[in-house]
Structure 1
């Protein structure tokens, strides 16, 4: 049976419609006659994401409705948009749509329908098999005209195409530039092998996140952040934990990018021996200026431009590497290679297996060095933390799989080739930001300028999404601040934005080693958001789906969710019945957690070496420019 609006499955009964417009005297009479169903106007939109009276079955029911409606709309859209004009016109229309779909404000507030917070009296008795709820929901009207108006307003915020999302996923300042550094830690064999393996795993994560989103998201109850699926599958505590972790990851990612931009500015000011703290302030001011933009509108075409800027940088690095070799100063001063190699560099050496301790850039413990390299690989695939935010902006989220698989294939092939090529000529001098070891100076400056541009775009993306999460999940939800879209919200955003940036600047300048810092963030956060958490949510979804018994589910006519049991018995039944999905997903989750633990341990060892007694790495709170050799 179709679940599209208009079918009997979602038409509210006359009694409930009468009750919605009844006055208090009529309600009292219904109670006396045992005709009162205990309904209230359901809250929709942004606030409905956190409504504790909504059951998982209700979320999934309206998600099914949403997917079928989207499919019908998309077929209609394509039919109108490509009719006539032959093949050339069809292709022109197709690519024109891809370019015209701008990504709107992530986490923007969806419109909310008028509603009453007055809760009506409950029924005296409820069926013991029903899920306990303070009230029973009902559809807002007898017709779907109200639904259509609501959904039109909500869908107006969803305009991104899968092509635009592809560019967003592949826009990553840290991913491509670290690939030669990965091989400097691991050698050709392990490095390229792990890059391919983790690329396949990242594609699997994207698929699991995509399937979970499709099963839970609707215009009535939108999924907007990584914490929303955990709220619906595990409860509010899980959501708070995920939101805290994601907010902290976004903040530390801004710190990593801030430190990287500071290093680039410092190298550009090398000839003038520009003070390193001044370089950090320059990077801070430019980044802070972007904080006054609250919207990600038009970010799709900016990300498109960033991809091509990255391609230009690829070419510069490859040509310079093959013809001129490395500048050893950045890696020597930023790692643990012998300091004498800055002025009298040892010959470049490459290794098929793991390089020996003398040629390791970050840690002499070879096991830890391998995981430092793996942590860096994660950065190339770390866009999963934003996947839900991207899907929440898509006109047709069922196309998201195209963006994920195209992006991961692009990253895996291009990055692996680039990493192996650059490592061949740079060897142990391969730095985290590889364009900083480029020679001669002219090509190095060109690469650094392009890196600054794409780096600030990445900073804007992480800052914007990260601060919006803090504002919405803490500011609006807990502190009751006004929405960002209001005038008061805009002023508050402008006040807390600089505070956020200054804190990021302080943290970034307090870290003595860029390589170890990026590896720590990758191991503790990126690994889990890319792999472990995706497996968790997918496992929980399948357990819930396969744990369903005959006669259970959500009835849109009455607003009642029926379950015949719950707890461990239900979870075990769902896990065993869906073993083809749940067992691989659970193994996948455990593998991600194990990799995160070992990767974080390796990064902490590297940080200890940098901070510890006798450490020769130049700290960031200094005026000494680490690139100055005069």
Structure 2
């Protein structure tokens, strides 16, 4: 790759995307629908998608990522000890910042990419597209299932198990479906602002609550001896807390200026790393070894209800953002290059609503089938986050710089780093599947599709 081509990968360019060929020479067999921007020209379109400012994109990314994951982190500290867990939180935060930047580089090089499936086509052709397409859809289904599960825990807490947990799950399903109906990210971004404020306030209330009440379910431990399965489950829970990467291509595609993506990424990662480190350490310090997962359950009865009440928007909206990205991926896949995607008629709306209904019903079934919060997070991390956050970004970099791996000392270091990123994704997947399977098999504390109180 010539030096001018390398410079084209940087975000500070003055050149427009349209001035660069979207694909390398070896990709000339691309089907026509993938050689253009996924939304095409929108000057006269009824519905315009490319409307996000960088800060709106950042808010959406925070709303999507900083929600369910942060609630599992204090229990992770209890599993492995304060010091190893903090090192993991900060270290994985830095690694996922880099892998997110690589995703942005790949999208800058290939501006037709709208999803991980499109990127899979560039890497591996039709087989890569189909495999990754199924994988990303399953990820979003499982992740949204975890939000519906959290919704039932929250409702059981607020109402003291006022009715059957399945009913609460159906209520969460209906709310998520209603908020998923807007077709553009910009409309969802205004909901995301509420989610952003909600999770931050709920976590702060929880920290203050446990600091004042000092429930002290066993003393905090700096280091803790544990078995491999428990320790690695803690790692996968931290990985899940940084699981926003599968949606990044979709967010970039709806930005006014995709070259601003690094600003959005830094906004997300800076907020994540600081919040995760401070909140998990403070809650674990005062709640001790018996800290709950989700962590909002660690406070006393009154503070717990207040925190869960404040967290309602993020529990719902963060799942909605994930669901919206998943539905949009399928929607664009079906209607790409057609006028129907930009219309407001009954057919376009009907297709969108139908997809949303099917998606949220399946997510609800998953939530009812795997009713243990931490086990579900661990399974999702192993199956999907391992690839979308680590393995595939490593492969993206290796593809972009194919033939230049040893062209300079800096390239050699980056090559080793990205090979390591890919291998790390493989290990998280293989070992994570094993430990999450063992945990789900051995946990008999909750039953599937039951009316029982899952907040206990």
Same fold (TM > 0.5):
yes
Q: Smaller-chain TM-score range?
A: 0.7 to 0.9
Alpha carbons of structure 1 residues 134 and 432: separation in structure 2 relative to 1, 3 Å: closer
Alpha carbons of structure 1 residues 397 and 153: separation in structure 2 relative to 1, 3 Å: farther
Q: Highest relative contact order (Cα 8 Å, sep 6+), 1 or 2?
A: 2
2:73 aligns with: 179
- 8 Å CA contact 1:63–1:216 kept in 2: the answer is no
2:211 aligns with: 322
1:281 aligns with: 170
* Equivalent of 1:396 in 247, 257, 263: 257
Q: Give me the whole-angstrom Cα distance separating, in 2, the residues matched to 1:69 and 1:170.
A: 29
Deviation at 1:498, TM superposition (A): 2.1
1:618 aligns with: 446
Q: How does 1:332-343 map to 2 (within 5 A)?
A: none
| Larger of the two Rg values belongs to structure | 1
Q: Give me the whole-angstrom Cα distance separating, in 1, the residues matched to 2:105 and 2:11.
A: 15
Q: Give me the whole-angstrom Cα distance separating, in 1, the residues matched to 2:339 and 2:145.
A: 26
Q: Please give the TM-score of this superposition, normalised by the length of structure 2.
A: 0.85
- 8 Å CA contact 2:61–2:268 kept in 1: the answer is yes
Alpha carbons of structure 1 residues 627 and 203: separation in structure 2 relative to 1, 3 Å: closer
* Equivalent of 2:222 in 352, 367, 379: 352
Does residue 517 of structure 1 match 2:376? yes
Residues 10-61 of structure 1 show CA distances to partners (whole Å, capped at 9, x for unaligned) of xxxxxxxxxxxxxxxxxxxxxxxxxxxxxxxxxxxxxxxxxxxxxxx9xx99
* Equivalent of 1:162 in 54, 60, 65: 54
* Equivalent of 1:421 in 277, 282, 288: 282
* Equivalent of 2:116 in 215, 226, 234: 226
1:22 aligns with: none
Q: How does 1:404-419 map to 2 (within 5 A)?
A: 404-419=265-280
Q: Give me the whole-angstrom Cα distance separating, in 1, the residues matched to 2:378 and 2:368.
A: 16
- 8 Å CA contact 1:369–1:602 kept in 2: the answer is yes
Alpha carbons of structure 1 residues 456 and 134: separation in structure 2 relative to 1, 3 Å: closer
Q: Give me the whole-angstrom Cα distance separating, in 2, the residues matched to 1:66 and 1:437.
A: 46
Deviation at 1:576, TM superposition (A): 4.0
* Equivalent of 1:494 in 353, 371, 379: 353
Deviation at 1:381, TM superposition (A): 1.3
Q: Give me the whole-angstrom Cα distance separating, in 1, the residues matched to 2:425 and 2:196.
A: 29
1:311 aligns with: 200
Q: Give me the whole-angstrom Cα distance separating, in 1, the residues matched to 2:395 and 2:188.
A: 30
* Equivalent of 1:264 in 139, 144, 154: 154
Does residue 290 of structure 1 match 2:179? yes
Deviation at 1:409, TM superposition (A): 2.1
Residues 461-506 of structure 1 show CA distances to partners (whole Å, capped at 9, x for unaligned) of 1111112223333x448xx996474531311332342232222222
2:314 aligns with: 454
2:300 aligns with: 439
Residues 245-284 of structure 1 show CA distances to partners (whole Å, capped at 9, x for unaligned) of 1111011111111111111111222164x22222222222
Gaps of 5+ in 2: 20-24, 33-39
Deviation at 1:621, TM superposition (A): 1.9
Deviation at 1:201, TM superposition (A): 0.3
Does residue 299 of structure 1 match 2:212? no
Q: Give me the whole-angstrom Cα distance separating, in 1, the residues matched to 2:27 and 2:268.
A: 44
Deviation at 1:317, TM superposition (A): 0.4
2:327 aligns with: 467
Alpha carbons of structure 1 residues 133 and 586: separation in structure 2 relative to 1, 3 Å: closer
Deviation at 1:432, TM superposition (A): 2.5
Q: RMSD value over aligned CA atoms?
A: 3.3
Residues 301-351 of structure 1 show CA distances to partners (whole Å, capped at 9, x for unaligned) of 33223222222112210111012244xxxxxxxxxxxxxxxxxxx942221
Q: Give me the whole-angstrom Cα distance separating, in 2, the residues matched to 1:180 and 1:241.
A: 34
Q: Please give the TM-score of this superposition, normalised by the length of structure 1.
A: 0.63
Q: Secondary structure at the match of 1:379?
A: helix
Does residue 607 of structure 1 match 2:440? yes
- 8 Å CA contact 1:484–1:490 kept in 2: the answer is no
Alpha carbons of structure 1 residues 305 and 387: separation in structure 2 relative to 1, 3 Å: same
1:585 aligns with: 418
Residues 133-176 of structure 1 show CA distances to partners (whole Å, capped at 9, x for unaligned) of 789x9xxxxxxxxxxx9586699643322222221222221132
- 8 Å CA contact 1:325–1:439 kept in 2: the answer is no
Does residue 598 of structure 1 match 2:431? yes
Number of paired residues? Answer: 432
Instruction: Give the structure with the larger helix fraction.
Output: 2
Q: Secondary structure at the match of 1:297?
A: helix
Alpha carbons of structure 1 residues 66 and 227: separation in structure 2 relative to 1, 3 Å: farther
Deviation at 1:67, TM superposition (A): 5.5
Q: Give me the whole-angstrom Cα distance separating, in 2, the residues matched to 1:476 and 1:223.
A: 15
1:127 aligns with: none
2:92 aligns with: 198
Alpha carbons of structure 1 residues 603 and 466: separation in structure 2 relative to 1, 3 Å: same
